[in-house]
A and B are shown apart, each in its own frame.
Chain A
Amino acid sequence: MLALFEKFRKGRFSHGIHPQYHKEATQGKAIKRLAFPPRLIVPVAQHIGAPAKPIVNVGEEVFRGQVIAEADGFMSVPVHAPATGIVKDINLMPSAAGPRMLSIVIDVYQASAQQVLYGEPTEPETLDRKELIRRVQATGMAGLGGAAFPSHVKLQIPTGKTAHTLVVNGCECEPYLTCDHRVMLEQPHELLQGIRYALQITGAEKAIVGIEDNKADAAAAVKAALKPNDPITVQLVETKYPQGAEKMLLKSLLGVEVPAGGLPIDIGIVVNNVGTLAQLGKLLPKGEGLIERVVTITGYNVNMPKAGNYLVPIGTPVRFILEQMGVEADHEKVILGGPMMGMSLASLDVPITKGTSGVLVFQGREFMEGENQEAVFPCIKCGRCVDACPMHLNPAQMAWLAGKRHYAEMESGFHLNSCFECGCCSFVCPSNIPLVQYFRIAKAVNREQKGKA
C-alpha cells in the first residue's frame, strides 16, 4: 500500500533532508576574477582515473594554457598551466584528501599579461564524434560538480548502449555553494552551447536542464537564452538535499530509477553538471584547456565581507585565497566543497583543483547549541536515518554491524556499496553517530579484503 502511495509522488525523489542553505550571502554576488597567487600547486591527478604524466622539467618556462602534463590513456585528462611562469618543482605536495600527491609547482611571473596563447580553434559542429571526444579530452575537462570524472569518458557512449536523453544537473543542492547558480545566470549562452555539443557527441535526442526551485532566476535566464529549435527544456525540481545526486535528479525529472549498482547510461541517460557544460561550451570551440574555475568562497560565523563567487586559477593555494578574503587563519575549520560532502583541511597549503566548488570557513559548528553537542549517544533506533537515506538503505542497521566490524555482511546483506556518502543519515542522527564515517571505513576495509583475496 505504501508502494502505491509512492507512485503518486512522481516528480520528486523520496527521503532526503532540508538543511539550512545559507546561500543568501553569495548568490547575489557576480563572478569576479581572483588575483594570481605568487605560486601555484598543480596536482597531476585532479580527476578520477590515471594521473597525467608531467611533460615539463624543473626550471622550464611555461605559458598560460600550455599542456604541462599529458593524459595517460583514455581514463585520464591532460593538465594545462594555469598561469605563465617557471616550473619550480615537481614533487609530492599536500592534497585536500590527505595523502601527498605529485604536483607541478609554478612560480607565476607577476609582470606577465597572462594571455592564453595556446589553442586549437575549430568549429565543433563540423566534426565527427570521435574527433570531438578527442578534443574534449584535450581540454582537460573533468566534472566540475565535485566528483571530477573525466568529461570525455562520460560523453563517450559505451558500445552496445545508446543515449536518448542528456540531463543537465543545475541543482547545486549543497548548502552555501552558489557557483553553479551564478554560472547559469551569467553564462547561459556558453551553457547552452555546451549542451548542444554534448547532444552532438552523445547522439541524445533531447536535453533537460534540472534546476532546484530556489534558483528560479537561473532557470529563467537559461530559458531566455534558448533558441527556438533547441531540443532543450528547463525544468524546476524541489529544493531538497541531495537533489543534485544524479540518481535522485533522474527520479525527480523523469520518474525513473537507475538500477542499483548501475549507471544512468544503463537506462539511456547521460548526466552532466551545468558548470562542466558551460566550460565545455567556452573551451571546445577555442580548443583551450581548463585552467580556472568558479569557486564559491564563504563561511559561517566568520567576518568575510568579500565572500562571493570567484574565478580562481587551478592550483591556487587555499591560504592565498583566505589572505585575499582578509580572513585570519585562526578559524576552526576550512572545507573544500560543500558542507555535506566536502573535505575539511588539515593544511591550508592545498590547492584548488578542477573538482573544487567551494572554500568554506567555519567558526564553530553550525547552529548547534549547548555544550555536549559533540557527545555521541547510543543509537536509540528512532529511524530518522532510514527516513533520510535517499538510496533507501538502513543506516542504523549497518551502523550496528559496523560496531561489531561485520563489514562483509554490511555489503552482502545491506547494500553498503549503494551508499554514495551524501551524509543525510549523519545529518539527522540525534545521537550524533558518525554514520557516514562508519560506512567509509567499512567500504575501505572491504576493498582491502577483496584486494588480498
Chain B
Amino acid sequence: MSQKHIILRTAPHVKKPQDVPLIMRNVVYALLPIVAFAVYQFGISVLALVIVTTLACLGTERFFNWMGNKPSSLSDWSSTITGILLALTLPPGFPLWMAAVAGIAGIAIGKAVFGGIGYNVFNPALVGRAFVQAAFPVAITTWTPAFFTGRFSEFVPSSLTLPFMMPPETAEWVEQVAVDGFTGATPLALQKFQHITTDPFALYTGTVAGSAGETSALLILVCGMYLVVRKMMNWQIPAWLFVGVIVTSGVLYLINPDKNPDPLFMLFSGGLMLGAMFMASDMVGSPLTPRGVMVYGLLIGSLTVIIRVYGSLSEGIMYAILLGNAATPLIDAWTQPRLFGAKPKGKSA
C-alpha cells in the first residue's frame, strides 16, 4: 500500500462554505438591480458612469498589486463593489473623467495605501466621493432630471466633458428635456433651503432628483434584504442606524416641526438608504461585536441627521459614515465581549 499524498492540517477539518470572494460577489449581485433601475431612470449616462468608475477602481487596484509585487486581488470582487457603489453615489450627469478620478482616489487613498482589502480604515467608495466632493463641488451638486426623453440614446451633456475641462452649463438643456416642475434640486436640498417637502411616495419609488443610485429607497432596501437573508450582511448595522436616525430626527421634529423634517422623510431621502445598507454595513470599517455595532449604527444615524439639519450641506450620510469608520477602532476597544464565566462587574467572588 502506498500513499499518494497526505494533507496534514490542524483542526478543524471542516469549514463553512462561505469565503470572502463569495460574499463580495453576492454584494455585487445585490447591487445589480439598483444599477439597472438607475440606468432605466437616467439612461446611458449612468451606465457609462458605472463602467468608468468600476474600471478605474479595478485598474487602480491592479496597478497597486503590480507596484507591491503581489498577486492580482481583482478576483476578490471588493474593488468591483467599490466601483459600483461609487457610481451610485454620484449625480447622473457627473463628468466621466471626474468619475474616473473619484475611482482612482477611492482605491488609492482609501484602500491601497493601507494595504488593500481588510486593512482600509474608511469605506473606499466614500473616500472617492469625498475626494471629488472637495475637488469639484459644483459638478457634484448638479442634478439632472430622471426619465427625460431620449435618455437611452443621448448622454447628459455634462457627462462627456473632456478631461480637465469644466462641464458645460446644463440648465438650458435641462429645461428642454425636463418634465414639468423639475428644479434640479434634491428633496433634501428643497427641504433644507426652500422648506418644500417632497411627496413621500416619490421618495420610496425614486422618481425624484438625486444621485444615480440612491433615489429609490425601497429597491435598495429589498436588495439589502437579499444579503441579510443570505447571511452575508450584518443587519444590525442598518437597523441601529435607522434607530439613530428616527430617534434624533424625531426629537428635532418634535422641537420644531415647521423647520425640521419628520423621521420618515429623513429615512427615505438622499443617500441614507444606500449608505445604511451597503456602506455603513461594510464589514471592514465596522466594529466587531454586537454592542460595538449598536454604538456605531446609532452614531452614524444621529450624525447624519445632525449634519443634515445643522450643517451647511444638505446631505450628511457620507461624512457620518466616514466618521463612524474613524471611530470604529475606539468603539472596538470599548466594546470587547464579556468572557464566558467572567465575574459580573461590581461583584467579588
* Interface membership of A372, Cβ < 8 A: yes
Which chain A residues lie closer than 8 Å to B10 at the CB level? Answer: 343-344, 434, 436-437, 440
Contact A344 B17, beta carbon cutoff 8 Å: no
Total count of chain A residues near the partner, CB < 8 A: 73
A330: chain B residues within 8 A (beta carbon): 2-4
Asked if A259 is at the interface of the complex by the 8 Å CB criterion, the answer is: yes
User: Do the beta carbons of B340 and A373 come within 8 Å of each other?
Assistant: no
Say whether B20 contacts A339, CB under 8 Å. no
Task: Assess whether A386 is in contact with B3, with CB atoms less than 8 Å apart.
Answer: no
Instruction: Kindly specify which of B200-208, B221-229, B244-252, B281-289 makes contact with the partner chain.
Output: B281-289
- Residue A368 lies at the interface, judged by CB distance under 8 Å to chain B: yes
**Which of B113-121, B154-162, B268-276, B302-310 is found at the contact surface with chain A?**
B113-121
Q: Does B21 contact A (CB under 8 A)?
A: yes
The answer for the CA separation of A3 and B332 in the assembled complex, in Å, is 18
Write out, one digit per residue, whether chain B residues 318-349 have a CB within 8 A of any chain A CB (1) or not (0): 00000000000000100011111111000001
Inter-chain contacts of B130 with A (CB < 8 A):
none
A431 to B337: give the CA distance in the assembly, Å: 21
Q: Distance (Å) between the CB of B20 and the closest chain A CB?
A: 4
Q: Quick one: which of B1-46 are within 8 Å of A by CB?
A: 1-23
Q: Which of A42-50, A147-155, A284-292, A391-399 contacts B (4 or more CB under 8 A)?
A: A391-399
CB interface residues, A 9-29, toward B, < 8 Å:
17, 19-20
Q: Give chain B nearest CB distance to A435 CB in angstroms.
A: 10
A20–B14 contact, CB under 8 A?
Answer: yes
Does B6 lie within 8 Å of A346, measured CB to CB? yes
Contacts of B289 in A (CB 8 A): 383, 386, 394
Quick check: B12 and A339 within 8 Å, CB to CB?
A: yes
- Contact status B342-A260, CB under 8 Å: yes
Let me know if B168 is at the binding interface, CB within 8 A. no
Residues of A close to B4: CB separation below 8 A: 330
Q: By DSSP majority rule, is chain B's interface helix, strand, loop, or mixed? A: loop
Q: Which of A418, A430, A434 contacts B20 (CB 8 A)?
A: A430
* In the complex, chain B residues whose CB is within 8 Å of the CB of A380: 20, 117-118, 283-284
Let me know if A377 and B117 touch, CB within 8 A.
Answer: yes
> Whole-angstrom distance between the alpha carbons of A414 and B332 in the complex?
13
- Smallest CB-CB separation from B21: which chain A residue? A372
B262 in the interface (beta carbon within 8 A): no
Among A259, A335, A365, A430, the one with the most B-chain Cβ atoms within 10 Å of its Cβ is: A430
Contacts of A333 on B, CB cut-off 8 Å?
Answer: 6-9, 13
A443: min CB distance to chain B, Å: 13
Interface presence of A254 (CB below 8 A): no
With both beta carbons as reference points, the residue of chain B lying nearest to A432 in the complex is identified as B19
Q: A366-B13, A377-B117, A436-B12 are in contact. Are A257 and B341 (CB under 8 A)?
A: yes
Q: Determine whether the beta carbon of A430 is less than 8 Å from that of B22.
A: yes
Is the pair B8, A340 in contact by a Cβ cutoff of 8 Å?
A: no
- What residues on B are CB-neighbors of A362 within 8 Å? 13
Contact between B291 and A378 (Cβ–Cβ < 8 Å)?
no
Q: Give the distance in Å from the alpha carbon of A329 to the alpha carbon of B17 in the complex.
A: 27
Question: Closest CB-CB distance, B105 to chain A, in whole Å?
Answer: 22
Contacts of B141 in A (CB 8 A): none
A residues 317-341 near B (Cβ < 8 Å) are 319, 328-330, 332-333, 335, 337, 339-341
Contacting pair A332 B6 (CB below 8 A) = yes
With A335-B13, A436-B12 as known contacts, state yes or no: A259 contacts B6, CB within 8 Å: no
Q: Is B290 on the interface with A (CB-CB < 8 A)?
A: yes
Report if B234 contacts A (CB, 8 A).
yes
Contact check, A378 vs B16: say whether CB atoms are below 8 A apart.
no
- In the bound complex, residues from chain B placing their C-beta under 8 Å from that of A392 are 337-340
> Are the CB atoms of A340 and B11 closer together than 8 Å?
yes
Docked Cα-Cα span, A380 to B75, in Å, equals: 15
Q: How far is the CB of A274 from chain B (nearest CB, A)?
A: 22
Cβ–Cβ contact A423 & B21, under 8 A:
no
Give the one of A258, A381, A436 with max B CB within 10 A.
A381
Measured in the bound complex, the distance between the Cα atoms of B309 and A248 in whole Å is 49
Q: Are A397 and B13 in touch, CB under 8 angstroms? A: no
Residues of chain B lying within 8 A (CB to CB) of residue A394: 288-289, 336-337
> Could you list some 8 contacts between A and B, CB below 8 A?
A2-B294, A332-B5, A337-B11, A339-B12, A373-B19, A380-B283, A382-B283, A436-B10
Other A-B contacts than A332-B7, A340-B14, A367-B15, 7 sampled, CB-CB below 8 A, are A360-B13, A365-B15, A381-B118, A381-B284, A397-B332, A415-B339, A430-B20
